[in-house]
Amino acid sequence: MSLLQATLLAGRLSGSVRSTSTRVVLGCAAAAWVALSVPRPGGGQGAGEMGVAHVHHPHTVPPVAAEVVDPWSLAWIGSWLLMVVAMMWPLTIPSVGAITRSSFRGWRMRLGVVCLATVTILWLAVGLAGAMFARTLSVPPGSVWWQLAFVCLALVAFRSSWRSRVLEGCLRLPALAPGGRRGVVTATRAGMLTWRRCALLCGPVMLAMAIGHSLVLMVFASLAAWWEAWHPRAWRDPVPVLLIAGAGAWIAVAALLDGRIGHA
């Protein structure tokens, strides 16, 4: 990239955050990143030790105590929501912008919030389902195998021609009513479509983190999803693939060095 191109891009980027809705969404996402990055008492980042419960397996002799994810704990829900705000909210900016521009003045903020709330609730539901599934399988928090399995699934999905086609289609929003009950309904529909796009972009990696995660995976997954969202027609773009593969390699190497592979 030449200096001229970089200057132009910087100018456009600064222009892109001029709208209030974009600033609010990015501000919330930045705050969530900070919250997730703050070390917790007892070690680890905020998101790394999501709601852990001690479960006793009554049929195991002798009884053993194993740690599993507790998706109904406030800690898990709080961490998961922070993750959604940090990683997924930036992906909603085009939709929220379109909604606010299509709305009557008095409805702009409200309908934008409806869209964001829809995306967040759907992600919460998916996260809860993923964590419940992990709990059913007695997957321990931070399981390396669980994370690697979903990272591999994400890498396979990148090769799918259908995924590329659906991603292109997901850019389309329905007719957006400018206010009233219909405005709420169409903003909800827009939120659902936006969520579908987010899920296609990084659903498997989000599920990988349903049992806890490292900040590294979160950063790499976010960069991959944001990159792909900004380059939706880049056919078989290697950048997000390399980012996700890099995250997978990091998890595997870190686990090997810690001696966790084989025990997790």
Partner 1 sequence: MARTRHDIATVSLGKVADAETQAWHPVLDTYARGVELMRALPAEDPESWQWAANTHGVPVGTPLRPAWGQCAHASLFFLPWHRAYLAWFEGTIRKLTGDDGWGLPYWDYSDPDNPDAVFLPAEFRVPTRVVDGEAVPNPLFDPARNEGPIPGEDIDIVQALAERRFVGGVPDVGFGGTDRDRRFGDVESTPHNWVHVDIAGLMESPATAGQDPIFWLHHANIDRLWEVWLSLPGSLRLTDPGGGSAFLVTQWQSAIFWFGSEQSPSTYTMDDVEDLSSVKMGYEYESIELPEASAEAIAAAREPVPVGGSGFPLDEAQARWEPVAASFNLDSNEERDLTFHATPRGLDEAPPTRLVLEFAGVRAVVPHAAYVVEVRSAPDAEPHRAGRFATFGLAGTPPEEERNYLVDATEVLPDLVAEGWTGGQLSVKLVPEEGRPDSDDPDRAIHVQQVTVYAQTS
Chain contacts with partner 1 (rule: CB under 8 A): 8-9, 11-13, 15-16, 18-19, 94, 98, 101-105, 161-162, 164-165, 171-179, 182, 230-237
Nearer of residues 49 and 237 to partner 1, judged by Cβ: 237
User: C-beta of 44: minimal distance to partner 1 in Å?
Assistant: 35
Nearer of residues 60 and 160 to partner 1, judged by Cβ: 160
- Residues 158 and 241: beta-carbon distance below 8 Å: yes
Distance from C-alpha of 109 to C-alpha of 117, rounded to nearest angstrom: 12
User: C-beta of 6: minimal distance to partner 1 in Å?
Assistant: 12
User: C-beta of 249: minimal distance to partner 1 in Å?
Assistant: 25
Tell me whether residue 178 is exposed, middle or buried, using C-beta atoms within 10 angstroms of its C-beta: 0 to 12, 13 to 18, 19 or more: middle
Nearer of residues 108 and 213 to partner 1, judged by Cβ: 108
Which whole-number Å values give the CA distances from 171 to 6, 75, 135, 194, in the listed order? Answer: 26, 34, 34, 8
User: C-beta of 156: minimal distance to partner 1 in Å?
Assistant: 15
Nearer of residues 2 and 161 to partner 1, judged by Cβ: 161
Distance from C-alpha of 232 to C-alpha of 228, rounded to nearest angstrom: 6
Q: Which residues are paired to 55 by β-bridges?
A: 66
